[in-house]
Amino acid sequence: MQVMEGSDNVEVAFKSALNTILLWDSTVEAGEGINKYLRAVDDVRCWMDSTAGEVASDDRSEADNVMSRAMARLKHEFENILTLDTAPRYSTCSSSLTDSSSYELHDEDYTDYDLPSPETISDLRSIAARMNSGGYLGECVKVYSSARKALVNLHFNGLGVERLSTGDVRWMEWQLLDAKIREWVRAVKVCVRIIFTNEWRLCKQIFEGLGRPGTDGACFRMAAKDAAIHLFNFTEAITKIHPSPVRLFRILDIHEALSDLLPDLDVLFPSLRMQVAEVLIPQLSEVVREVLQKYEEDLLNELSQDLPPGGGIHTLTIYVMNYVVGISNYEQTLTRSIVIKPKADWKVPTLELIELEERTPLELHLIWILVHLQFKLEVKSKNYKNALLADMFMMNNIHYVEGEILTCPKLRSMITDDFLSRLMRTVQQAATNYHRGTLVKVLSCLRPERLNVKGLSRSALRKRIKTFNSMFEEVHKTQVKWSVPDFQLREELRLSISQKVISAYRSFKEQHLNLFGRALWAYLKYTPEDLEAACLQFFEGDVQAGKPCEMIGVNMFLEITKGHEDNLEEFSLEMLLLATYNFSEEHIIGIGSYGLVYRATLNDDRVVAIKRAKFLTSSTYIGGTMCREDEANAFLLKELKFLSRLNHRNLARLLGFCKDGNELVLVSEYRSNGSLYDHLHKLKSPRLRLWPARIKVALDVARDL
């Protein structure tokens, strides 16, 4: 009797479930409505399993038809839920599968990719489970993969990563490719650590344990595969570009990004992880080795004759040290990539006594670069006609090298103590040579043993003092034009000279004041205070004391730009050299009235146009056209006066300037749409083909000016 009652209950539940499925309205809200439908599906499945082979074929056929209809309805509801939950949402938690604490996205607007709500995931999981029990899991997976693939591609496209072919990358201008690489490095981190990771987690929550083993992973890869392929195809294209020193740091950024993401790829895309680890990263390492070798060859072949006035810091020194410091920041990556010692000639004398046996190949390359930089500087110093100025040049440049090493902990750890000591001794020796050559003759006029005061006449005393005055004035006239850019070194030199000169001068005055009395004051042109003030003017690099056209001072810049609405920024030459990779030809975008125009991205990601006056001799490492010095200054002043007072939305705004030694540079906004000249003569703009349009442009420009 109990068995019959149980059978009746199953039958009643089955009939009720059939009615629910057949009559269920798709407009019923989620929650209790969908849960009731799912229970009905469970009841029909339970009846079919419990009555297998025991019921009439008509009843069985009816149940199969109802179940097929239910699966179609569930598929439709599954798709609706996915479609309604595809709006991008953001939060602030980290999503790395490996929980790497060192990982940062540096983008507050896109720090995470939200998963659907727990309730939504629960509904999707429930529907997927019913479709799996009904043998329709494949249909569910297809719907899911299609919907999530669209969402993944939506986010991927929003990251700004273009789908570029190898040919596109190989022939792209470096400035544009540089920007593309920066975008890619950010995008690959966002994709792997946020988008792909959360999609993988969502698949696990919905499909884990359903169907065949690995269904969840296969479903995820169907949704994310296209985006991943396009993302990593870019890396493969990068390995085919020409190995230029300009490109080293961007390639290292890609190398580091891929290496950091290997643990995540091991979970998400095991086969892709293998390709990245065994093919792409080794290829990038090979490109890095080729680039470093090319850089060393360029340094060996550098033959420029340019010299900074006043013995200041050479642009080659700044360029090389920027490069070396940049290399040291990628020490871990480069140590794995650079496995062979430098191939170049090691017969440079400075290297013979350095202990290098236990150094890594990367450290040997850095030392090699620094040694050859010093060698190049020594060759250049011989082009100064004044031997003391040559000593000043070596002191400034080697002191700059030493300072860059000491202020960069990573670079300091890679340079041997012996080599650093040799640099310090070079600076000290150059300073000693300068002191001897500058002060010996001046102080010789004041030394008692040279005066032999016992029989000194007034005429002889007057001659001695006159000789001293003449010598000191000549030294002052010369050395106010000489340059010691480092503040501490400059003050130490001034103090040393001042102490020696004033001490000897006071001793001389006291010694002869008793012999000649007040008559001595008639011959003395300077007080000790005057000499001290004069010594404090040394090494400013103030060439205004020479020909007026030789340099434009910062004060002249500031005077010209008075009244400018925005404060003009004074850019350092070091920053501009780094942004343009030492004014490389790959950054040239045009020729101005007094030199070349470069496009560059500053360290704050501003894209700027850099106009550089060029009127020195040609250089093998700094590109540029030449004009007469006075012409260059005239053009520069004219453009500076004009741009500093110009403020219009259609014109590139002047951002600032750089005055450093013989370098004269203007920095302005970069307008990617080109100039009016470009549209008239190069781009052949359809809008400007007709004369009425051209006349309108001319009138508008005239009104604005």
User: What number of residues does the chain have?
Assistant: 705
How many angstroms separate the CA atoms of 637 and 631, rounded? 10
* φ and ψ at residue 609, rounded to 5 degrees: -105, 130
* φ and ψ at residue 589, rounded to 5 degrees: -120, -5
Tokens of 195: 């988008």
Instruction: Report CA 326 to chain centroid distance, whole Å.
Output: 10
Residue ranges of the alpha helices (H) in 239-359? 248-268, 270-275, 281-300, 315-328, 331-337
Cβ-count burial of 588 within 10 angstroms (0-12 exposed, 13-18 middle, 19+ buried)?
Answer: middle
CA dihedral over 651, 685, 175, 616, signed as positive or negative: negative
- Burial state string for 38-53 with b = 16 or more CB within 10 A and e = fewer than 16: bebbebbbebbeebee
How many angstroms separate the CA atoms of 577 and 572, rounded? 9
Question: Could you give the maximum distance between any two Cα atoms of the chain, in Å?
Answer: 151
- Burial state string for 380-414 with b = 16 or more CB within 10 A and e = fewer than 16: bbeebeeebbbbbbbbbbbbbbbbbbeebeebeeb
Among the listed residues 27, 72, 18, 26, the one whose alpha carbon sits nearest the alpha carbon of residue 45: 18
Among the listed residues 118, 256, 175, the one whose alpha carbon sits nearest the alpha carbon of residue 600: 175
How many angstroms separate the CA atoms of 262 and 398, rounded? 41
The helix/strand/coil state of 634 is helix
How many angstroms separate the CA atoms of 40 and 34, rounded? 10
Inter-residue contact 481 to 662 (CB < 8 Å): no
Q: Are strands 569-570 and 654-660 parallel, antiparallel or unpaired?
A: parallel
How many angstroms separate the CA atoms of 377 and 348, rounded? 13
- HSE (CB half, 13 Å, CA atoms) of 224? 27
Q: Are strands 595-601 and 588-591 parallel, antiparallel or unpaired?
A: antiparallel
How is the beta sheet containing 588-591 ordered, strand by strand? 569-570, 654-660, 663-669, 607-613, 595-601, 588-591
696 is in an annotated binding site: no
3-state secondary structure 374-390: HHHHHHHHCCCCCHHHH
Q: For the chain, state the CA radius of gyration.
A: 39
Among the listed residues 105, 104, 112, 123, the one whose alpha carbon sits nearest the alpha carbon of residue 88: 112
3-state secondary structure 585-612: HHHEEEECCCEEEEEEECCCCCEEEEEE
Q: Are strands 654-660 and 663-669 parallel, antiparallel or unpaired?
A: antiparallel
What residue type is assigned to position 84 of the chain? L
The helix (H) or strand (E) run that includes residue 312 is none
CA angle 599–600–602, rounded 5-degree value: 150
Looking at residue 419, the DSSP 8-state letter turns out to be: H
What residue type is assigned to position 505 of the chain? Y
- HSE (CB half, 13 Å, CA atoms) of 33? 10
Q: Which residues define the annotated binding site?
A: 611
Q: Which residues define the annotated binding site for ATP?
A: 611
